[in-house]
Structure 1
Amino acid sequence: MNIRTVRKKIKSVSNVKKITKAMELVSAIKMKKAQQKALESAPYRKSLERIIYKATAGLEKGFSPLIETTSQSNKNLYLVISSSKGLCGSFNFNLLRYLGKEISFKDNDFIIIGKKASSFINKMGGAIIADFSHVEPENAISAIFTEALEKYLSGQYRQVVLLYNRFINTLKFETTATCLLPAKLSEKLVNQETDTVVESEYLIEPSAKEIIDAVLKNLIEEKIRGAIIDSEAAEHSSRMVAMKNATDNAENVIYNLTLLRNKIRQEKITYELLDMLTAKESVESN
């Protein structure tokens, strides 16, 4: 390898380093925005779920088809949220590995958000009934919810399950499967805060039974929105970390190539000096 080739490689790797550094900075900004959105929307969903739990505590079982399923089907409908772009580390890999290991593609159907999941499920022979990969996810929330709700209420599916990567912190996310329908309200949420409004008795008009369906639909739609925001934050954090690792690796490659360039240049200088000394000795001997 000559010195000109090494210089070209150093220049190429330096250009790649600039790109990965820029992508790291962009992903960091996007992650902070998505993280802020996730933090701002979480209290509303939790409060709404606590209020629904308290309001429905005295109602008899089966008061809403959104709470208890009557379907005899064994099929589930999965709402899968992935990314449409790559270069985000293990973000898509973990999600798709969970899909491949835990879910039967022949016995379940899918609604897809993200091109990576769409491509994978098509290759595995899964049935995709709706693909929202080509639209902005947050703009398609109502359409996604309406599609899933209609299929569930028609009795085609026993459950509607939301599968996505839940954002935990900058360095960690977790593949999570959440049952959307039938809706499951957690009693733990009621005891998490000592809010006097939540603990008091509600006076609901016309009645809890008449309004509960509308409130539950709002809660489920908000859960889909929260999952999309969480997935977006996890994607950007994973891409930021991946690009930081790529930038660090590029620096190491540049360092090693620089050492190699200096070594080749030093060898060239040494050989030229030896040639000069040899020529001098040859002249002096003659």
Structure 2
Amino acid sequence: MASLKEVRNRIVSVNSTQQITKAMKMVAAAKLRRAQDNIMQMRPYAQKLGEMLSTVSAGSESSSDSPLKTVRPVEKVLLVVVTSDRGLCGAFNTNVIKATLQLIEQKYAQQALRGNVEIFAIGKKGAESLSRRGFTVHTAYADLFGRLNFVAVKQAAEEIMKDFSEGRYDAVDLIYNEFKNVATQIIHADPYLPIRSEDKSMRARKTEVNYIFEPTEEEILSELIPKSLKIQLYRSVLESNASEQGARMTAMDKATENAQELLKELKLVYNRTRQAAITTEILEIVGGAEALKN
């Protein structure tokens, strides 16, 4: 049985840990409110921009000339993996890493065997984990959450689009957590480049309407396609940020509850140990008195 001092030290340690987890939960809750507001404002804009691009490109032949729509045999692959910079957020990062490895195994196994799968890391945890597994990891934007804004994400998107247009990669996929609520995050592994064309039935329905373009279709599409890709990446990063704070808030809440349960058990052990020590002392006193009497 542990001594009273050991149990008392453990109680002090767990109590300190509980105070830390409570504070981290409160910080995550405050950050979550801001992150949730940001993503709720971004979703309608991103959706409407996607619809606009789809509508304009549906009846346009010039959209097929964009280098971002060029379909090539997939030899080299870039995976944009969005994780967090810090841990203590439950299975948030682990789920993204698992989804990335599963995507590679199911879709890009041959390319991975030839060493043609590279990782574009947004978030330090993904960069560290995947580099340990032997993948080539680009970490220029791994600390993007420390300076999270549209300008930083736009630069990352421009670099990805430039590499694809120059033929450095034949396919780019995006893996991230979508925010649903505080306790639920949905893993997405979506194609990012090349931009997929719509099926013929959808194209036929949209080309029934005649549009007047001002300026020309080419100019509109040359602006809309890169802008849509930048917004898509920015939305993914915002979704991941909100998901991270929700996951951290949930994890810290569970940790606080577990600490409370552990404190109850330790206090019970402490009281039992203390009672046993008192009983032992009483027995020693009684035994000593009897010995003196005899």
TM-score (norm 2): 0.85
Q: What corresponds to 2:90 in structure 1?
A: 89
8 A Cα contact 1:166 1:175, kept in partner = yes
Q: What corresponds to 1:39 in structure 2?
A: 40
Give the secondary-structure state (helix, strand or coil) at the position aligned to 1:180: strand
Q: Write the deviation string for residues 171-218 of structure 1: whole angstroms up to 9, x where unpaired.
A: 11122112222224779xx9xxxxxxxx98643212223211211111
Give the secondary-structure state (helix, strand or coil) at the position aligned to 1:63: helix
Matched, 1:265 2:274: yes
Compared with structure 1, are the counterparts of its residues 222 and 98 closer, same or farther at alpha carbon in structure 2 (3 Å cutoff)? Answer: same
Which among 250, 268, 277 is matched to residue 241 of structure 1? 250
Quote the offset at 1:254 in angstroms.
0.9
8 A Cα contact 1:111 1:130, kept in partner = yes
Q: What corresponds to 2:125 in structure 1?
A: 116
Instruction: Find the aligned partners of 1:227 and 1:63 in 2 and give their Cα distance.
Output: 25
Give the secondary-structure state (helix, strand or coil) at the position aligned to 2:174: strand
Which structure 2 residues correspond to residues 88-237 of structure 1 after superposition, within 5 A?
Answer: 88-103=89-104, 104=109, 105=112, 106-129=115-138, 131-135=140-144, 136-138=147-149, 139-184=151-196, 202-237=211-246
Greater Cα offset, 52-61 or 224-233? 52-61
Quote the offset at 1:62 in angstroms.
5.1
Q: What corresponds to 1:52 in structure 2?
A: 53
Compared with structure 1, are the counterparts of its residues 266 and 73 closer, same or farther at alpha carbon in structure 2 (3 Å cutoff)? Answer: closer
Quote the offset at 1:255 in angstroms.
0.6
8 A Cα contact 2:62 2:217, kept in partner = no
Greater Cα offset, 115-124 or 29-38? 115-124
Instruction: Find the aligned partners of 1:127 and 1:4 in 2 and give their Cα distance.
Output: 51
Which structure 2 residues correspond to residues 5-16 of structure 1 after superposition, within 5 A?
Answer: 5-16=6-17
Instruction: Find the aligned partners of 2:76 and 2:100 in 1 and give their Cα distance.
Output: 15
- Superposed CA RMSD in Å reads 2.4
Q: What corresponds to 2:80 in structure 1?
A: 79
What one-letter code is carried by the residue in structure 2 that aligns with 1:162? L
Greater Cα offset, 82-91 or 135-144? 135-144
Compared with structure 1, are the counterparts of its residues 121 and 280 closer, same or farther at alpha carbon in structure 2 (3 Å cutoff)? Answer: closer
Give the secondary-structure state (helix, strand or coil) at the position aligned to 2:255: helix
Greater percentage in helix = 2
Compared with structure 1, are the counterparts of its residues 49 and 186 closer, same or farther at alpha carbon in structure 2 (3 Å cutoff)? Answer: farther
8 A Cα contact 1:171 1:241, kept in partner = yes
Quote the offset at 1:16 in angstroms.
0.7
Greater Cα offset, 170-179 or 120-129? 120-129
Instruction: Find the aligned partners of 1:277 and 1:240 in 2 and give their Cα distance.
Output: 55
Give the secondary-structure state (helix, strand or coil) at the position aligned to 2:69: coil
Q: What corresponds to 1:250 in structure 2?
A: 259
8 A Cα contact 1:164 1:177, kept in partner = yes
Compared with structure 1, are the counterparts of its residues 182 and 47 closer, same or farther at alpha carbon in structure 2 (3 Å cutoff)? Answer: same
Instruction: Find the aligned partners of 1:9 and 1:121 in 2 and give their Cα distance.
Output: 36
List, as ranges, runs of 4+ consecutive aligned residues in structure 1 with deviation greater than 4 Å: 199-202, 279-283
Q: What corresponds to 1:194 in structure 2?
A: none
Unpaired runs of at least 5, structure 2: 203-207
Matched, 1:21 2:27: no
Instruction: Find the aligned partners of 2:158 and 2:291 in 1 and give their Cα distance.
Output: 93
TM-score (norm 1): 0.87
Quote the offset at 1:276 in angstroms.
3.9
